[in-house]
Amino acid sequence: MTRLALEDIRKSFASAEGAVPVLQGVSLAVDGGEVVALTGESGSGKSTLLHIAAGLEAPDAGRVLVAGQDMASLPDAGRARLRRGTVGLVFQQFNLVPSLSVGANLAFQARLAGVHDPAFCADLAARLGLTEYLRRYPEQLSGGQQQRVAIGRALAAKPKVLLADEPTGNLDEATGDAVFVLMLELARAQGTALLLVTHSARLAGQCDRNLHLRAGRLA
């Protein structure tokens, strides 16, 4: 069942020389439990596409369907609600909440969405190897540990769609591989549709499908 569908997405940015097209009619769909890699050179529009999929940015044209709901037709509050309960986001820089403990970070989005399940969260923490760090603060963790918290936070809310933007870009190869494998396992186990932006052909090779973006179009 299709969890995420992007239909003919177009986006351009204003510049001194006029409008610069970034996305020129991109369409894709990701089913539940499916892992899709999105690769492309720097500036090809990968992150912009991911931001549009998450409802963080609006497309100039096209439709974004998240769990059957058209993101573009929703007001800001509606998009936020959809993001809160349906979409999980994982970033390259982790973007944890620095003022909250690891435990609070892990549970944060699930509690926001009103779907917090303490037992599930504890199990997730154990699978991510974070149980002993729950009372610590993000700044006291290594990069790999922080990224595991970010993945746990996104998955604790049991999202229908998980969007990951270079989740291992800031980690060494061994740590990055371990984090990637874990994320794949958990997403597949939850039946979550995972769209993964990456530069790494090696990681992309482990996904169910691999899409390549070139000059704003899927190659």
Partner 1 sequence: MTLAALLSHWMRNKVQLAMLLAGLMLATALWSGVQALNAQARGAYATAAALMSEDGAASLVAPSGQMDQAVFAQLRGQGVLVSPVVEGRLRLGDTRLTLLGIEPLTAPQGTAAALADGDLQAFFAGAGFAHPETLADLGDPPLPLSPSSAVPVGTLLVDIGTAQRLLGMEGQISRLLLTGPAPRPLPEGLQLAQASEGAELAGLTDSFHLNLTAFGALAFAVGLFIVHSAVGLAFEQRRGLFRTLRSLGVPLRALTLALALELALMALVAGLAGLALGYVLAAALLPDVAATLRGLYGAPVPGSLQFSPAWALAGLGMAFAGAALAGAQALWRLWHMPVLAPAQPRAWAMATGRAMRWQVAGALGLGGLAVALALLGDGLFAGFALLAAALLAAALLTPPLLALGLRGASRLAQAPVVQWFWADSRQNLPRLSLALMALMLALAANIGVGTMVASFRATFIDWLDQRLVAEMTITPRDAAEAQTLEAFIAPRVQAVLPLRRVDATLVGQPGAVYAMRDHATFRDNWPLIAQVPNVWDRLATEEGALINEQLARRAGLWPGDSIALPGAGDVPILGVYPDYGNPLTQAIVTESWFDRLFPGTPTRQLAIRTDNPAGTRAALLDEFGLSAQAITDQAQAKQLSLAIFERTFLITGALNVLTLSVAALALFATLVTLSGLRLVQLAPLWAMGLTLRQLAGLELARALMLAGLTMVLALPVGLMLAQVLLAVINVQAFGWRLPLQVFPADWAQLALWAGLAMLAAAAWPAWRLWRGGGGPLLRVFAYER
Q: Is 179 in the site for partner 1 (CB under 8 A)?
A: no
| Interactions with partner 1, residue window 22-51 (CB under 8 A) | 42, 47, 51
104 forms beta bridges with none
CA dist 96 and 99 (Å) reads 9
Q: Is 136 in the site for partner 1 (CB under 8 A)?
A: no
Q: Is 112 in the site for partner 1 (CB under 8 A)?
A: yes
Contact (Cβ atoms closer than 8 angstroms) between residue 49 and residue 208: no
Residue 219 CB, shortest distance to partner 1, in Å, is 21
Q: Is 91 in the site for partner 1 (CB under 8 A)?
A: yes
Residue 185: phi, psi to the nearest 5? -60, -50
Candidate segments 33-41, 75-83, 176-184, 186-194, binder of partner 1 by CB under 8 A: 75-83
Q: Which residues, at least 6 apart from 165, have a Cβ–Cβ distance to it below 8 Å?
A: 46, 47, 50, 89, 90, 91, 92, 197
Residue 36 CB, shortest distance to partner 1, in Å, is 20
Instruction: Name the site residues for partner 1 (rule: CB under 8 A).
Output: 42, 47, 51, 54, 56-57, 76-77, 80-85, 89, 91-93, 95-100, 104, 107-109, 111-113, 139, 153, 165-166, 169
